[in-house]
Amino acid sequence: MVGLSDGEKHFIHGGIAQDLRSDGRKRLTYRPISVETGIIPQANGSARVKMGVTDVIASVKAELGKPSPFQPDKGKVAIYVDCSPTAAPIFESLVF
């Protein structure tokens, strides 16, 4: 993790002292929040959360299957994560 420079610290302290954020809101003014559930019919669970201009969609899909004949008493959990490259450029070439 990279620390903050002295200039960044000064900017943050100035905003706190003036009760102002870089987007013009007051420190205690939050962005409008909305939550919708069940937005992806093919998923077992899904939600869309909007906070200001930030828009996030998350879903969960679960399937039951038979255990391997070689390990009949063992289960299996597979987790897949798909991040849209529009979330941030860092997600463009990552595979989770």
Amino acid at 48: R
pLDDT tens for each residue of 24-50: 889 888 889 999 999 999 989 999 999
- Specify the pLDDT at position 93: 57
Q: What separation in angstroms does the CA of 19 have from each of 13, 14, 23, 32, 47?
A: 10, 8, 12, 19, 33
Residue 63, pLDDT > 80, answer yes
Contact in structure between 33 and 51 (CB atoms under 8 Å): yes
Stronger pLDDT, 76 or 7, i.e. the higher one:
7
What integer best gives the mean pLDDT of the chain?
83
Stronger pLDDT, 35 or 93, i.e. the higher one:
35
Strand partners, 59: 46
Residue 96, pLDDT > 90, answer no
Contact in structure between 25 and 18 (CB atoms under 8 Å): no
Contact in structure between 15 and 25 (CB atoms under 8 Å): no
